[in-house]
């Protein structure tokens, strides 16, 4: 496997999302990347691992999963202290 640094354009195309989405994920969701000068660079394997771990899940996806699991975030409801 080729292990080179990928650009925002390449990662966006690889994931099938826009460049704006990649920038949002980096700043808001902790997508693994490194700033080199004024450019962001990514290792494809790091991004793959992050996606598999649920890093790209939307907030509504996370809420749906919590509902499916029957859980809450632990700070709501009577009796939770």
In the prediction, which pLDDT does 14 show? 97
Q: Kindly give the parts of the chain with pLDDT less than 70.
A: 1-2, 59-81
**For the chain, domain boundaries:** 5-59
In the prediction, which pLDDT does 18 show? 97
In the prediction, which pLDDT does 26 show? 96
CA distance 34 to 8: 11
In the prediction, which pLDDT does 3 show? 84
In the prediction, which pLDDT does 63 show? 45
Third-level CATH fold of 5-59: Multidrug-efflux Transporter Regulator; Chain: A; Domain 2 (1.10.1660)
Model pTM? 0.69
Q: What angle do CA 19, 20, 23 make, to 5 degrees?
A: 90
In the prediction, which pLDDT does 68 show? 57
């Amino acid at each position: 496997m080729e292990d080179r640094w990928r650009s925002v354009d390449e990662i966006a195309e690889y994931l099938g999302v826009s460049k704006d989405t990649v920038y949002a994920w980096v700043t808001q969701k902790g997508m693994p990347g490194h700033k080199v000068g004024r450019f962001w660079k990514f290792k494809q394997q790091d991004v793959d691992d992050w996606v598999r771990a649920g890093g790209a899940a939307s907030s509504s996806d996370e809420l749906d999963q919590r509902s499916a699991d029957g859980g809450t975030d632990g700070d709501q409801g009577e009796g939770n202290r």
